[in-house]
Amino acid sequence: MDTLDISIEDPRWEILDLSALVTRAVTATLNYLALDPDTAEVSLLGCDDARIAGLNADFRGKPTPTNILSWPSEERAAMSPGSKPLPPEPGPDGLTVLGDIAIAYDTCAAEAAAAGKPIADHVTHLIVHGTLHLLGYDHETEPDAALMEGLERKILGNLGLDDPYR
């Protein structure tokens, strides 16, 4: 996947090889949805809790840390609860700009430890989750959550990872 722009602000992400995890998770998500990973553009920021708390305050009015945030490049929401969003359209250059993701090391590490799972598995799940948000999926209603969680289970299963909702 050549169109993945990763910025790492927190050096702990380097130890985890965030670039490899992101490439694997985004590619698996796009392939599962029959979208070409080589033409999709995603930017990702690997940061800490302080940085993501600032972003969460600025963009969502919630001045607290969170595990992951995503900003789709355009509105792609489904027309009705529980239905799939329309696939993104490529631009004139052939690239499909999906959007931006930020992920916080501290929160991810704490959540993985609390769940007794490897941080790499948890981060992979969150990147799949964030990528689905970029594609217009959400979990605001019960039918939407069921659709999104079902996709996450299938994509993670294809990667050999356990069901994160079990």
| Annotated binding-site ranges | 129, 133, 139
129 to 134, 160, 165: CA distances (angstroms): 9, 16, 12
Q: Which residue has the tokens 């990973």?
A: 37
- Residue whose C-alpha is closest to residue 25's, from 121, 162, 128: 128
Q: Which residue has the tokens 């305050």?
A: 57
The annotation places the binding site for Zn(2+) at: 129, 133, 139
- Residue whose C-alpha is closest to residue 28's, from 152, 134, 135: 152
Contacts of 113 (CB under 8 A, 6+ apart): 119
As a whole number of Å, the end-to-end CA separation of the chain is 30
